[in-house]
Structures are given as structure tokens and as C-alpha cells.
Amino acid sequence: MERTYPKYAITAVGAVLIRGDEILLVKRGYSPGKGKWSIPGGVVEAGESLIEAAKRELLEETGLEAEPIGIIWVLNNIVKDREGRVKYHYVIIDVLFDSNTIKGDLKPGSDAVEASWFKIRDLRENPEVSRTVKLLIDRIQVYGLTYIPITNTENIVVE
């Protein structure tokens, strides 16, 4: 699958883990967002549910496991090049995890070069934090930690 200059939008997930007044972020090792602090996440693999993908990405990028509780936000992230062509296009479904279920030791992995907890109140002014994290924080400040509860996310049809 071609990720740069795609023909179609690519489905991805973000693993949102908030503990008190802190949020878990990873520093990206690859584009888009290389060097920026972002929500752990990545592309949904074929045959994988949104929940499976979010749990996998959380573990791969942070070394942590937790139980998902709902969909907190959906973001249509389009990045254009200088000529106005679509270089990246991701539809990102952010899954909120229950911080009371965290297991494991925090350590970066996969395409994350660092993983750390950040005070939510400090993110808006931090130039190293991605634009998408700042948009998520704005959403949380307006609506709180509201989410769509997880129900049956499997839609498997055998032909």
C-alpha cells in the first residue's frame, strides 16, 4: 500500500490513554510527523478490527496494554505538498483506553523513538507536539472525555 500520494484515504487508529491530568504520547520516528509528539497509533491492517489495531499499536509503540472503552474522536488528516497535491490522507479513529487497566512498562517501540506522559495543560504551547494532538486536546476541553462506547466492532461476512 502506497502511503505517500495515495489514491484513497488510509484508515488508521490512535490509542488515547489519559491518566489523571496526563496523556501518553510518543515521538514519531517516521513521516508524517517525524520528530513530533503524537498519539500512539498506525494503520489498520486488513482483517483487523479497530479495537485490535488500537490495542496492537498501543503495545507496539509504548510497551503498555490497556482495555479500550470507546471511540473518542474521528479525524480526517490531509497533508498537502507545496504544489497542493495530497501527500498523505489518513482517516484516524481515536480509541480511548481505560487508564485503570494499564499493564506493562513504558518503553518506545515500533516507529516511536520516545514515549512519555505529558501534562495536558502544557501541550497547547509545546511546538514539538503534533497539530492533531492539539486538536484532540481542544476537543477534550470542550466536550470532556465523552466517547461512543465500544460494542460489537466485528463485521465479518463470508461469501
Active-site pick, 114, 125, 128, 159: 114
- Our answer to whether residue 67 is catalytic in this structure is no
The number of angstroms, rounded, from the C-alpha of 111 to the middle of its chain's C-alpha atoms is 13
Q: Do residues 39 and 15 touch, judged by C-beta distance below 8 A?
A: yes
Known catalytic residues?
A: 114
